[in-house]
Structure 1
Amino acid sequence: MPTPSPLSMPTRFDGAPDRVALVLPGVGYTPARPLLHFAGSVLQQQGWTVQEVWWQVPDEFRAFEPEDRITWVEREVTRAVDAEGGACRLLVGKSLASFAGGIAADRGLAAVWLTPVLTSEPVVRALRRTEAPTLLVGGSADPVWDRRIAESSGHEVLEVPGAGHGLELPDDALGSIEVLRQVTARLDRFVASLDTGR
């Protein structure tokens, strides 16, 4: 069974205190990396309080059984959500963070999953039972992305042709910047659409 790891001090940007969005990292993709950095910028511009979660994945994480990986992620995300005292309304996560899909489903939280792990049956099951607004973003060259599964989930989907797991295009720096712009614009529209239901 995995041992809990302490969350480092999150970075908080204050907006409206009743609307908190958690920005969740991947295994090595921190909130300072481009996709999550600009996600946080979009949220701040739209008046959300942004809470960046920085976690330390245990060295033995890759040896964990699949259910133990999910348990670890769910524990970390639950602590971060609970710390907001009911104000958390949105999860924005990269890859590994999608293992917290069950939390989004159970708590009715909107979510943006960047490169969700659609090869994981628990992640897929959580997406299928999620009723809150959800945006799935993946690249067609990402081995953990499955367009058929994404589209059958009933959620909004953005697939980037040729992009890998980092949502970048191989050997195409300028094209990768355009992908970042495209993903950020779509996220901006998704977050704006959440305001219509306030």
Structure 2
Amino acid sequence: MPDPSPFAMPTRFDGAPDRVAVVVPGVGYSPARPLLHFARGVLLQHGWTVQELWWQIPDDFSQFTVDGRIAWVERQVTQAIDAEAGACRLLVGKSLGSLACGIAAERNIAAAWLTPVLTIDHVARALQRAQAPTLLIGGSADKLWDSRIAESLRHDVLEVPSADHALELADDATGSVDVLRQVVSRLDRFIGSLGH
């Protein structure tokens, strides 16, 4: 993966070579944003190698059909997984990144999906097929999260009351930090459960 800027900030953080986690961003939610930044920290504490996927969304992406968006995301994620030559054992994705949950299901890769787009049928069906350990985290105030669908799945689910699509609370910065702590703690428990 090319570095995202001329400042050559790292996109890969080495840990165990046989346990690689690929971090998949959202549309405007890069791996540097809090949820994914701290997910990387948790992964590194547990000894994982972390490969962050930094992507440039096409200018006309808003005009893509849902199937076109899914295909675009799947291409990016498949390339990142294949580059790891079988060592990718976990996907951590935010929002748009969850459009790759079909890849995780097909390849039996564990996944932690932060604010997955449960309102897209492809995502819900892929999560129903997923056999590998899967964590879903969403907020009850997020229009792209569907509590009913999340509850119907046999996966580990954390629904944060009143949290929006960024897993933040409206007009409550301190409360939003508390939510971040709750999410990071749940990620820590989930990643720890995956073993070595």
TM over 0.5: yes
Paired with 1:126 and 1:177, the residues of 2 have a C-alpha distance of 31
Q: Deviations over 1:148-179 (max 9, x none)?
A: 10111110100000000000000000000000
Q: Secondary structure of 1:141's match?
A: coil
String of CA shifts for 1:100-159, please: whole Å, max 9, x gaps: 011000000000000000000000010000000000000000000011101111101000
Residue number in structure 1 paired with 2:108: 108
1:50 aligns with 2:50: yes
Q: CA separation in 2, counterparts of 1:60 and 1:128?
A: 31
Q: Report if aligned partners of 1:8, 1:55 keep a CA contact under 8 Å in 2.
A: no
Q: Unpaired segments of 5 or more residues in structure 2?
A: 4-9
- AA of the residue aligned to 1:65: T
Aligned equivalents of 2:159, 2:87: Cα separation in 1: 30
How many Å separate the matches in 2 of 1:12 and 1:129? 30
User: How far apart, CA to CA, are the structure 2 residues paired with 1:147 and 1:110?
Assistant: 21
Amino acid at match of 2:31: P
Tell me, in whole angstroms, the C-alpha distance in 2 between the residues paired with 1:57 and 1:125: 25
* Corresponding residue number in structure 2 for 1:4: none
2:166 alignment partner in structure 1? 166
1:8 paired to 2:2:
yes
- Deviation of the 1:96 alpha carbon: 0.2
Q: Does 1:90 align with 2:86?
A: no
Matches within 5 A, 1:22-101: 22-101=22-101
Q: Distance in 2 between matches of 1:27 and 1:8?
A: 18
Residue correspondences, number: 190
Runs of 4+ in 1 over 2 A off after TM superposition: 7-10
TM-score by length of 2: 0.95
Q: Look up the SS of the partner of 1:19 in the other structure.
A: strand
Do 1:115 and 1:136's aligned partners in 2 also have CA atoms closer than 8 Å? Answer: yes
Structure 1 unpaired stretches of 5+: 1-6
Identity of matched residues, %: 69
- SS state at 2:194 partner: helix
**Contact map agreement 1:95 1:114 (CA 8 A) in 2:** yes
Q: Deviations over 1:28-60 (max 9, x none)?
A: 100000000000000000000000110001010
Q: Which amino acid aligns with 2:45?
A: Q
2:126 aligned residue: 126
Q: Residue 174 of structure 1 aligns to a residue in which SS?
A: helix
The alignment's C-alpha RMSD in Å is 0.9
1:65-113, CA deviations, whole angstroms, 9 ceiling, x for partnerless residues? 1100000000000000000010000000000000001100000000000
Q: Secondary structure at the match of 2:102?
A: helix
